[in-house]
Amino acid sequence: MNIVYIHAHDAGRYIQPYGYAVPTPRLQQFAQEGMLFRQAFCSNPTCSPSRACLMTGQSAHENGMLGLAHRGFRLKDYGETLVQFLGEAGYHTALSGIQHIALEPYAATADIGYSEILTEAHIDSNAIATASEDFLGREHQQPFFLDVGFFPPHRIGEGEFPADGPAPDANYVRAPAHLPDTAATREDFAAYMASVQTFDTMFGRVVDAIEANGLAEETLIIATTDHGIAFPGMKCRLTDHGLGVMLMLRGPNGFSGGKLSDSMVTHLDLFPTICEVVNLPIPDRLQGRSLCALAREPEHCLHERIFAEVNVHAAYEPMRAVRSQRWKYIRHYAAREHVILPNCDNGLSKDYLCDHGWAAHVAGEEELYDLLLDPQEANNLVTKPEYAPQLESLRTALHEWMLETQDPLLRGPLDLSDKVVTSADAYSPAGAPRGG
Among candidates 41, 147, 34, which has minimal Cα distance to 86?
147
pLDDT score recorded for residue 108 = 67
CA distance 176 to 395: 29
pLDDT score recorded for residue 105 = 65
Continuous segment of H or E residues that includes residue 118: strand 116-119
Kindly list the distances between the CA atom of residue 343 and the CA atoms of 11, 212, 316, 318, in Å, as whole numbers in the listed order.
17, 42, 9, 12
Continuous segment of H or E residues that includes residue 29: helix 25-33
Query: Torsion angle, CA of 109/111/114/118, rounded to 10 degrees?
Result: -40
Domains of the chain by start residue, with CATH: 2-303 (3.40.720.10), 306-411 (3.30.1120.10)
pLDDT score recorded for residue 363 = 87
Among candidates 291, 241, 240, which has minimal Cα distance to 265?
291
Task: Give the three-state DSSP class for 305.
Answer: strand
Read out DSSP for 58-89? S-HHHHS--S-GGGT---S-GGGSHHHHHHHT
pTM (2 d.p.): 0.96
φ/ψ of 296, rounded to 5, equals: -80, -35
Kindly list the distances between the CA atom of residue 34 and the CA atoms of 21, 125, 249, 264, 371, in Å, as whole numbers in the listed order.
21, 24, 6, 18, 28
CA distance 28 to 6: 15
Residues 92-119 pLDDT 10s: 999 999 999 998 766 767 789 999 999 9
CA 138 to centroid of chain Cα atoms: 30
Q: Does 251 score more than 80 pLDDT?
A: yes
Among candidates 214, 243, 291, which has minimal Cα distance to 35?
291
Residues 31-42 pLDDT 10s: 999 999 999 999
CA distance 11 to 208: 21
Q: Is residue 10 classed exposed, middle or buried when 0-12, 13-18 and 19+ CB atoms within 10 A define those classes?
A: buried
Amino acid at 378: A
Q: Does 22 score more than 90 pLDDT?
A: yes
